[in-house]
Structure 1
Amino acid sequence: MTDLLQEPTLRKRPGRATRGRLGIAVLAVGLLAAAFNLRIGVASVGPVLSDIRADLGLSEVVVSLLTTIPVVAFGAFAFVTPALSRRLGLHRLLGATMIALAAGIALRLTPGLVGLFIGTVVIGASIAIANVIMPTAIKRDFSHQVGLMMGLYATALSVGAALAAGATVPLLSVVGGGWRPTLAIWAIPALIAFLLLVPQLRHTLVRDPRTHDVADVPSEAGEPSVRALTRDPVAIAVTALMGLQSMSFYAALTWVPTLFQDAGMGAHTAGWMLSYSAFLGIAASLVTPTIAKRTRPTWLPVAVAVLLTGAAFVGLAAAPASAAYVWMTMLGLGQGASLSLSLTYIVWRSPDAQHTGHVSMMAQGLGYLLAGLGPIGLGALHTATHGWTVPLMALIGLLVLQMWAGALASRERHVLDGHDRASERSARRRDA
């Protein structure tokens, strides 16, 4: 777990220079294409949950596992990423996750529950690994354009989620009304992303002859201790923000279409409302890092995002169908800004790519384990109370904690700053 997230050192060909502008552009397109796929496998399920439940005779709690399992897997499988990246390198491992993701989505075609749930686990594991890789790759490959690339990264996530949420129900009629082939269609974008990453996979790996790990230039900063990170207030705040905003996001992603259908809205319209909010999230995700970088006090963007999301939950509890566009506008803007901030703070609060890898692993590993409680918890509360008011009020309560975590994460400091200074003082005392 304390291994470095490293990219393979490339064996340079004679006369070949490092990446030029075209190479950087190709790399950026490949990374963003991969990011586009990192919510599709989950977002496509929500609009057809009612069809799945009716077809397989599942309870609300059991069917919510289809969106809960991937989120829990996001956390659990995040911790295997460092070891895998040392063996394959960042870009090569990212390409492998796209193949695995396509296979997991395609498994939903198999009859019965087994293939459906195994595919769901594979989808979650693939996305988990890619989740950890992406901030590290951006910090490493685009160190002078972090704000822009993190905004584009969060935007690509939102675009994928919006497209999957809005197009899944219309695709039902295209494929003959079956939810299995409809979900399986979403394997195609993952295969396209793999093809766009192929230029990054052609380089020969150089390995350490002793460990057989992928070799790389050692970091002067040294390898951060995972134990130290779990005690660092900055890393804890970034992790808490990631987990709390993800809990809210995936709970809404799973159950908002059902909430609207319970209020009398048709399935097509309910799916469109979720997609509409995601398109607003795209705009918020794109501009939030740039705005946050220039805004003082630094906690203000976090507060705006939390207030927008809270107002949306209040509206959905009080009058979901009568002002649906208002509530979903606020929800999309609030959740899009929160997602972008939580991902960007992983990079901003890390001094280098090496620290980014470990903070990303901790924030997304522990954060998504926490987030997995959102969909199943909301479903359980709905079953227990036979309504949506109590579940939505619970989400509003969690926004208070999100505000606290976001305010701490927004402070302009790096993880382990105090730890590094203490280490330097100890070293000076030993030298004296």
Structure 2
Amino acid sequence: MPAASPGGRLLLAAVLLTALNLRGAIAAVGPVLDDVRAALGLSAAAAGLLTTLPVLCFALLAPASAAVGRRVGAGAAVLGSLVLLAVAQGLRVLDGAPVLLAGTFLTGAAMTVGNVLLPAVVKAGFGRRAGTVTGLYTAALVAGAAAGAAFTAPLAAVLGWRGALAAEGVLAVVAAVVWAAAARHADAAAPVPAARSARARPLWRSPVAWAVTAVQALHSTLYFSLTAWLPTLLAARAGTDAATGSVAASVYQVLGIAGSLLVPAVLARRPGQAGLALGVAALWVVPVAGLLAAPGVWPAWAVVGGLAQGAGIALAVTLVVLRAADADAAARLSGMSQLVGYGVGALGPVVVGALSEATGGWTAPLLLLLAVGLGLAAAGVVAARPVRVG
């Protein structure tokens, strides 16, 4: 097993530390957003960009990230992205809205490189344990987001909002130091292939590749929509106050850690992925249907939704690793799924909010999300076919 060797253990530590950095800086913004707006005089639209802009980077910069990995090697590319991420955390707290937005864009760009290239490193570096390692690093990814959401407000009380946001760069520096030591193992595991433009076209014509991409897109739509609107939705349908809605949102985020660990646990017992895909889709359908039919039982739906969002991202990334024929195909499939998946997912909160405003309630948006959950089940079954792409 690769992780049993010193190089394998070092690479595993580097992968997990990198994953901790791939969402935390985004999740850290919410708890101090009012302070940021007051200090910099941001409009509501500009404030919205602080969380939307990184997600758009995930989509638009995914193909470029795969190309960078092929050109300079996965190890060097991820190391460079961690250095850029650390610099961006310092940049975005300098004075002025333009600098804040520039730092936010660089944050999203740096995270995109890790999003795209870590599946390729895991695919090549951990062999038959790739599915388990994928589950561990998606758990770390979710844990990083939960920590960013949980600890930013207490840090801001001591350091101010600038210090709290800049503190996110410390973890990026730690990850960069470990990754610098592990980079040669990453490049040995996932060597740089020659550019093969002729191979890129069949990937976009593969039904299985599109099914994997659809899983990412549909899961992202559900995740970002509930992340954006859960407190508001609960206030409207269950009569909760702002503090209760905040608790529900925190539970939803934190339980994603447990949800992300469900996928490797199930794969260890049942290597087939069709049943797993249906199970993850069911985890999404249950809370959405519950909010429609019995909103008063919202604590149960927040718990199940938290498990769903963690399991969903783990499933999306694991399918990339399992369906790709090699590390290069994993990088390209990861780029494709994230280009489309995060692009669609970023639109989810906008469409859900517009539909709620147009209909004057939340029944129609929830019915839409219910249909998305059922679509996730269908896409997951196709994506689970034992076919290698690329």
Same fold? TM cut 0.5:
yes
Structure 2 residue 170 is matched with structure 1 residue 195: no
Match of 2:200 among 222, 226, 230: 226
Match of 1:311 among 260, 276, 286: 286
SS of the residue 1:92 aligns to: helix
Does the CA-based 8 Å contact 2:272-2:384 persist in structure 1?
A: no
Identify the residue that residue 54 of structure 2 maps to in structure 1: 70
SS of the residue 2:314 aligns to: helix
Match of 2:216 among 220, 242, 264: 242
> TM-score of the superposition, structure 2-length normalised?
0.86
Identify the residue that residue 107 of structure 1 maps to in structure 2: 91
Which structure: larger Rg? 1
Structure 2 residue 166 is matched with structure 1 residue 184: yes
Deviates more, 1:378-387 or 1:90-99: 378-387
What's the CA shift for 1:223?
Answer: 7.7
Q: What amino acid maps onto 1:265 in structure 2?
A: D
Task: Rate the CA distance shift 1:86–1:414 in 2: closer, same or farther, 3 A.
Answer: closer
Identify the residue that residue 132 of structure 2 maps to in structure 1: 148
Identify the residue that residue 341 of structure 1 maps to in structure 2: 315
Structure 1 gap ranges (5+): 1-17, 207-214, 417-432
Identify the residue that residue 265 of structure 1 maps to in structure 2: 241
What's the CA shift for 1:159?
Answer: 0.8
Distance in 1 separating the partners of 2:235 and 2:373: 25
What's the CA shift for 1:35?
Answer: 0.7
Structure 2 residue 12 is matched with structure 1 residue 28: yes
Identify the residue that residue 286 of structure 1 maps to in structure 2: 261
Structure 2 gap ranges (5+): none
Identify the residue that residue 252 of structure 1 maps to in structure 2: 226
Per-residue CA distance 1:5-54 (angstroms, 9 max, x = gap)? xxxxxxxxxxxxx9971221111101110011111122223344455566
Does the CA-based 8 Å contact 2:135-2:260 persist in structure 1?
A: yes
Per-residue CA distance 1:326-380 (angstroms, 9 max, x = gap)? 1211001111111111110101111222221211121122222222212333344
Distance in 1 separating the partners of 2:228 and 2:92: 18
Identify the residue that residue 58 of structure 1 maps to in structure 2: 43
Distance in 1 separating the partners of 2:29 and 2:229: 10
What's the CA shift for 1:76?
Answer: 1.1
Does the CA-based 8 Å contact 1:223-1:354 persist in structure 2?
A: no
The alignment yields a C-alpha RMSD, in angstroms, of 3.1
Identity over the aligned pairs, expressed in percent?
Answer: 36
Task: Rate the CA distance shift 1:392–1:183 in 2: closer, same or farther, 3 A.
Answer: farther
Matches within 5 A, 1:325-340: 325-340=299-314
Task: Rate the CA distance shift 1:410–1:134 in 2: closer, same or farther, 3 A.
Answer: same
Does the CA-based 8 Å contact 2:58-2:339 persist in structure 1?
A: yes
Task: Rate the CA distance shift 1:105–1:385 in 2: closer, same or farther, 3 A.
Answer: farther
Distance in 1 separating the partners of 2:22 and 2:342: 14
Task: Rate the CA distance shift 1:171–1:386 in 2: closer, same or farther, 3 A.
Answer: farther
Per-residue CA distance 1:164-197 (angstroms, 9 max, x = gap)? 2222333332334x4x443332222112111221
Distance in 2 separating the partners of 1:89 and 1:119: 25
SS of the residue 1:145 aligns to: helix
Does the CA-based 8 Å contact 1:165-1:274 persist in structure 2?
A: no
Distance in 2 separating the partners of 1:255 and 1:159: 21
SS of the residue 2:387 aligns to: coil
Q: What amino acid maps onto 1:411 in structure 2?
A: R
Per-residue CA distance 1:227-259 (angstroms, 9 max, x = gap)? 111110010100111111112222223333455
Distance in 1 separating the partners of 2:232 and 2:35: 11
Distance in 2 separating the partners of 1:379 and 1:77: 26
Identify the residue that residue 119 of structure 1 maps to in structure 2: 103
What's the CA shift for 1:218?
Answer: 6.0
Does the CA-based 8 Å contact 1:224-1:355 persist in structure 2?
A: no
Distance in 2 separating the partners of 1:382 and 1:169: 30
